[in-house]
Amino acid sequence: RMDCAADGAGNRNPVIVLNGEEGAVSVLRNTDAPGTSVTFDASATYDPDGDNLTFSWWTQSGDVNISGENTHTATVQVPAGSAHLILEVTDDGTHNLSAYRRVVFN
C-alpha cells in the first residue's frame, strides 16, 4: 500500500468472483439440504495487476468436507447445522495481498 501511495503504483487485491457474483464483502448464503454436494466456482476470479493467484478454501466454524481446497473450484458436502466456508485468494505480487469471500450454510 505504501508503494501505491508513494508513486501511484503498487499491488492491488485480487477480485473474487464466486459463482458468477463479484463482491469483496458480500456473503454467499447456501440453503441446500444437508448431505447434498454443492460446487463453488471461483474460476472467474482475477487480479487487476495480472499477478498469479493461489486459492485456499477452509472452514472458520463447523465441520465441512472440502474437495479441491487448493483450486478455484471446490465441492463440499452441505453440513447439518450452521457452518462457514471461507475462500482465500492470494496474489504473487510484491507485498502479496489476499481477498476473502464467505459462504454460510444454515
Please state the rounded mean pLDDT for residues 7-16.
84
Least confident of 16-25, 30-39, 93-102: 16-25
Taking residue 47's Cβ as centre, other Cβ atoms within 10 Å add up to 20
> Which residue in the block uniquely carries the three cell numbers 475462500?
87
Span 35-74, pLDDT tens digits:
999 999 999 999 999 999 999 999 987 788 999 999 999 9
Distance CA 24, CA 37 (A): 25
| Spatial separation of the C-alpha atoms in residues 10 and 43, rounded to whole Å | 24
Phi/psi class of residue 103: alpha, beta or left (left: φ > 0; alpha: ψ in -120 to 50)?
A: beta
Residue 46 CA to residue 72 CA, distance in Å, equals 11
Residue 60, pLDDT score: 82
Instruction: Note the pLDDT of residue 3.
Output: 54
